[in-house]
Amino acid sequence: NKKRVVIVGGGFGGATAAKYLKKFSPDTEVILIEQNKDYYTCPFSNTVIAGMNKIDYIKHDYKTLEEKYKIIVRHEKVAKVDGTINSVILENGEIIPYTKAIVAPGIDFKYDKGYIEGSEAYAPHAYKAGEQTVLLSEQLQNMKDGGTFVMVAPNNPFRCPPGPYERVSLVAHYLKHNKPNSKIIILDQKNKFSKQGLFQEGWEKLYKDMIDWRSVEFGGKVISVNPKTKVIKTDDGDVIADVLNYIPEQKAGKLAFDSGLVDGDWCPINTKTFESKLVKNVYVIGDACIAGPMPKSGFSANSQGKIAALQISRILVDLPLVNPPKLANTCYSLVAPNYGISVAAVYEAHDNEIVDLKSLGAGGLSPSYADESIRMQEAEYAIGWYKNQMSDIFR
Ligand code: FAD
């Protein structure tokens, strides 16, 4: 009577959970169901948009997970996870029973203000990597010198809090060297953002007067948008873009809604195991779950994937939970190819909350007004982080 864990979603969260579950519990049958054959990471997709890397740099496949770790990988779309019959239902009707399921579907968008499904063909969000990344990159390359790149940045909570600002930085780097008469406007739907001081210090130093950040309170508030004409109505008048990168507000991936895992926009979980508070035997990790102070990042999803796998491997053989489990996150951002900044944190899961251990001196932020050599070193660490994470997950 073999135990079976079915994992849906082969991104940072799901692929990590699959690999680590096999490590912690080799006799358990692990099935990973992912709709796409290749996975394009959002991390480093901003370097592709800015022409620093080709799209293949962020492309990964599931061969090693299948061949080396003996995970059964199925490329199928899941219709829903049905907790009443402990089974995953594929879109083709196939029913796959499980002992435990892990769900990591990532995010979906809240279409609003004239940005509807299909708008991404004109005004790419590029907030799921792959085709969208290439499209935004092409639009940037085709923009005239003297053009305006407009980004609409979402309100919290959303995937990768520093992501929009890293993107703007690298777009500015590209424009500075290729189309120096161009400018960037950020229409932000909030009043402050992640690593703001460090980003703005870098912008002042490297891209003086090129980036115009407008907070929601001071000219940034979007009333409506026409993705085809690229005219954005704000409470401070119309803004016309040559390239419009519209990043909508976000919610848990559709699969989480269809499986009854969502309360509001996101999935509530038991903090020590990541088991859903709404559906027994189903664990939710990554961007879709509510993990207190942990940001929606690839690193967080990776850390959560390991904890969920560890706790499930123990539950399956009646061992006590690891208590309290520790989690971590680091987000590197490139302000330019040789200018990196970062934020790091360590967390501990208590009964009803995940606690940031900063009061114990864990974690930190890059220093302000640091020497160039420190920014250069952090840019190297950023690349090192990416390579390590990819081999931790996919190799
Ligand atoms: P995902 O990685 O999105 O994986 C979800 C998977 O589920 C997808 O492969 C999808 O195809 C699959 N799926 C969904 N529904 C179904 C279904 N019904 N059937 C089958 N498969 C399904 N994080 C960092 O840590 N560091 C960074 O530097 C960083 N940079 C970023 C830059 C940008 C521009 C962006 C947008 C994000 C960045 N992130 C970064 C955040 C990171 O990409 C996400 O937090 C991470 O991908 C979340 O992992 P996940 O497993 O929850 O979801």
Asked whether 253 lines ligand 1 (CB < 6 A), one says: yes
Q: What's the chain's Rg over C-alpha atoms?
A: 21
Report the nearest-CA residue for atom 36 of ligand 1: 127
The one-digit pLDDT tens for each residue of the chain (395 residues) are 789 999 999 999 999 999 999 999 999 999 999 999 999 999 999 999 999 999 999 999 999 999 999 999 999 999 999 999 999 999 999 999 999 999 999 999 999 999 999 999 999 999 999 999 999 999 999 999 999 999 999 999 999 999 999 999 999 999 999 999 999 999 999 999 999 999 999 999 999 999 999 999 999 999 999 999 999 999 999 999 999 999 999 999 999 999 999 999 999 999 999 999 999 999 999 999 999 999 999 999 999 999 999 999 999 999 999 999 999 999 999 999 999 999 999 999 999 999 999 999 999 999 999 999 999 999 999 999 999 999 999 99
Instruction: Pick the atom of ligand 1 nearest to 9's CA.
Output: 7
User: Could you report how far apart the first and last alpha carbons of the chain are, in Å?
Assistant: 30
What does DSSP assign to residue 219? I
Omega before 227 within 30 of 0, i.e. cis: no
Question: How far apart are the CA of 42 and the centre of ligand 1, in A?
Answer: 7
Structure tokens given for 113: 């203000």
What is the complex's ipTM, to 2 decimals?
Answer: 0.99
- Looking at the whole model, is its pTM more than 0.95? yes
CB 258, CB 282: distance < 8 Å: no
Report the nearest-CA residue for atom 2 of ligand 1: 11
Tell which residue, 311, 302, 350, has the closest CA to residue 329: 302
Q: How far apart are CA 172 and CA 258, in angstroms?
A: 40
